[in-house]
């Protein structure tokens, strides 16, 4: 599964001033999400690790959630109905076991970025301040990601994105939407193992070190 993202292109003309592009985002860092508020699309920067207001042990904050069990787990049930978001990325990484080591691969579209399905939450403090956070949603791998592992982030096409963000979408339709979504990945290739360290940054993280594999 992917615990690392690349988010270096601004998804909208207006992004928070504090946002910095990253070619190697790891859980616990801040990233951009898109969400609907009062029927308007907004771009905000949040913590990548879901922290609901009742969570006391923040070390248990999840960076991903399995689509199959969103209705079953209290941490995800309410945000699934009320606080859905998209995580716009340029691509993401998956590690493939090769003998005694794991080789990182970078997955993306041929042109443009990907929209990952996510959930967001708000953690309020006693002094009235708060922070927002998110988790990405995973599903059984399809298409190119299935060649690397068993799971993948859920990537949505434009029509699916609109349904996912719409407040009017019936809760019973959400899980089928996630599980039936095809992978939007069109291209993948191995990259330098140095990206395994979250400290490794820069455009070189996404540079191929071997032959690319394209969607048939």
pLDDT at 182: 97
Q: Per residue in 63-121, pLDDT tens? A: 999 999 999 988 999 999 999 999 999 999 999 988 888 999 999 999 999 999 999 99
Q: What pLDDT shows up at residue 14?
A: 85
Q: What is the pLDDT of residue 108?
A: 98
pLDDT digits (tens, 9 = 90+) for 68-83: 999 998 899 999 999 9
DSSP code string of 29-87: SEEEEEEEETTEEEEEEEEES---TT---GGG--SEEEGGGTTT-HHHHHHHHH-EEEE
Q: Can you list the domains of the chain with their CATH numbers?
A: 4-214 (3.90.1680.10)
Beta bridge partners of 116: 87, 155
Kind and range of the H or E run holding 178: helix 171-180
What pLDDT does residue 2 have? Answer: 65
List, run by run, the mean pLDDT of 10-residue segments along the chain (216 residues): 88 90 96 93 95 81 94 92 97 91 96 97 85 96 95 97 96 96 97 94 96 90
State the pTM of this model: 0.95
C-alpha–C-alpha distance, residues 47 and 30, integer Å: 4
């Amino acid at each position: 599964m992917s615990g690392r993202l690349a988010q270096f292109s601004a998804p909208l003309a207006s992004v928070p001033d504090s946002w910095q592009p990253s070619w190697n985002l790891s859980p616990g860092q801040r990233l951009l999400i898109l969400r609907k508020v009062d029927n308007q699309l907004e771009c905000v920067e949040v913590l990548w690790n879901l922290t609901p207001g009742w969570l006391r042990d923040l070390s248990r904050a999840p960076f991903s959630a399995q689509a199959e069990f969103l209705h079953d787990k209290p941490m995800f049930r309410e945000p699934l109905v009320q606080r859905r978001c998209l995580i716009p990325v340029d691509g993401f990484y998956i590690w493939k076991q090769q003998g005694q080591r794991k080789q990182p691969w970078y997955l993306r579209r041929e042109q443009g970025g990907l929209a990952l399905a996510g959930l967001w939450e708000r953690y309020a403090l006693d002094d009235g301040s708060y922070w927002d956070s998110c988790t990405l949603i995973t599903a059984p791998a399809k298409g190119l990601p299935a060649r690397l592992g068993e799971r993948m982030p859920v990537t949505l096409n434009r029509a699916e994105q609109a349904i996912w963000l719409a407040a009017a979408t019936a809760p019973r339709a959400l899980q089928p939407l996630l599980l039936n979504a095809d992978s939007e990945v069109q291209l993948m290739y191995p990259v330098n193992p140095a990206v395994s360290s979250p400290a490794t940054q820069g455009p070189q993280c996404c540079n191929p070190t071997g032959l690319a594999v394209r969607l048939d």
